[in-house]
Amino acid sequence: MEFLYEYGLFLAKAITIVVAIAAVVIIILASAVKQKADKGELKLTNISDDLEKLKHDLKEELLTKKQFKAYEKSLKAEQKQKDKAEKKQTEPETTPRVFVIDFKGSIDAGEVASLREEISAILTIAEPNDEVVINVESGGGMVHGYGLASSQLDRLRSADIPLTICVDKVAASGGYMMACVANKIYAAPFAIVGSIGVVAQIPNFNRLLKKHDIDYEQHTAGDFKRTLTVFGENTDEGREKFQQELEETHVLFKAFIAKYRPELDIAKVATGEHWYGQQALELGLIDGLSTSDDVMMSLAKDKTVIKVRYQLKKKIADKIAHGASLCVNAVFNRMAEKNQPLS
């Protein structure tokens, strides 16, 4: 029995090592292979139709047969009247549309790749009475990433397409940079809004390296090519320059906010603090308290609400690498559960 136990343990270790090596090889191959640019597909969902179907299903469930029959009869009469009205018109009247986009931003705002495709698609088909609603959820991140995301939204403003931003959870820092571009901003009562400030932090291991007699060399051309570093010895001059750059970025951030919301008291709101929706309304950071659901349901009463989503297609190599990674994690978790040593 002891032999079988030892053999089983050895076999489990061997399988773990083989799977781990295979996963690493696949990941390396996936990143090394040159492939064409990522392609995605645009998906449109008619939210108005979904709401009508929900209403119809609920009526059928809650009303008596007689009441539901009368309800369906009224719907048919209403549709018949609409059809007659359309026949009399020389030019068919188009129902105004509302295009809805969801933006859930990460630190590097990588989601802007899909956002730009969604906005480009809307710009190609938008008509004078159409508008756009974007549900933003982001605590901010890199300046250049959210700067580009804000510029994408400005394309809608430049095309005179009314833009509304809804904040259900958080639109802070870079997230608020995006939100302020809109004509109207709505936030849930306890959504986090604001944080108009700049932050940067960096660890320094220079003393640890010196303690172990490890030299670190960094060569630059230009006095401030590097200000603060992770491994080098930082200077007061470098710190001062780094702080100066943060202040300059903050000035640009405040100017950007003031451009789109000139009524704001910038000195009062650009302190880096964040506020909840109720407080943000009093400060003028938003225009109203509402959830995105209420905004869309209100618009759906007399407009066609369409959700626009651009989804990137995953490469086969990425799918294989992801699957292999899940397998490795599963094996290691299983070993950890059994409290078996890996070596």
**Checking DSSP bridges between strand 274-276 and strand 131-137, what pairing results, if any?**
unpaired
Give residue 35's pLDDT. 47
Give residue 308's pLDDT. 94
Q: Enter the tokens of residue 285.
A: 């950071």
Residue with tokens 């580009």: 148
Buried b / exposed e over 259-283, threshold 16 CB at 10 Å, is: ebbeebeeeebbeeebbebeebbee
Hey, how many other C-beta atoms are within 10 angstroms of the C-beta on 131?
A: 20
Q: Based on C-alpha coordinates, what's the Rg of the chain?
A: 28
Say if residue 9 is exposed, middle or buried (CB neighbours under 10 Å; 0-12, 13-18, 19+): middle
Helix or strand (DSSP H, E) at 223 = none
Q: pTM (2 decimals)?
A: 0.73
Q: Enter the tokens of residue 162.
A: 């009314």
What would the DSSP string read from start to end of 58-110? HHHHHS-HHHHHHHHHHHHHHHHHHHHHHHH-SSPPPPPEEEEEEEE--TT-T
Helix or strand (DSSP H, E) at 222 = none
Give residue 332's pLDDT. 44
Question: Catalytic: 325?
Answer: no
Please answer whether residues 114 and 133 qualify as being in contact, where contact means their C-beta atoms are separated by less than 8 angstroms.
Answer: no
Question: Catalytic: 225?
Answer: yes
- Write down the catalytic residue from 225, 301, 338, 343: 225
Q: What is the pLDDT along the chain (343 residues), one digit of tens a residue?
A: 565 556 566 666 667 776 667 666 666 666 555 444 457 889 999 988 888 888 888 877 888 888 878 878 887 877 777 767 666 665 556 789 999 999 999 999 999 999 999 999 999 999 989 999 999 999 999 999 999 999 999 999 999 999 999 999 999 999 999 999 999 999 999 999 999 988 888 888 888 888 888 888 877 777 777 787 888 888 888 888 888 888 999 999 999 999 999 999 999 999 999 999 999 999 999 999 999 999 999 998 889 999 999 987 666 555 565 565 555 455 545 554 454 444 3
- Give me the phi and psi of 71, to 5 degrees please: -65, -45
- Write down the catalytic residue from 114, 150, 173, 292: 173
Dist. CA 278–CA 274, nearest whole Å: 12
pLDDT per residue as tens digits for the range 16-55: 776 667 666 666 666 555 444 457 889 999 988 888 888 8
Say if residue 155 is exposed, middle or buried (CB neighbours under 10 Å; 0-12, 13-18, 19+): middle
Dist. CA 76–CA 60, nearest whole Å: 15
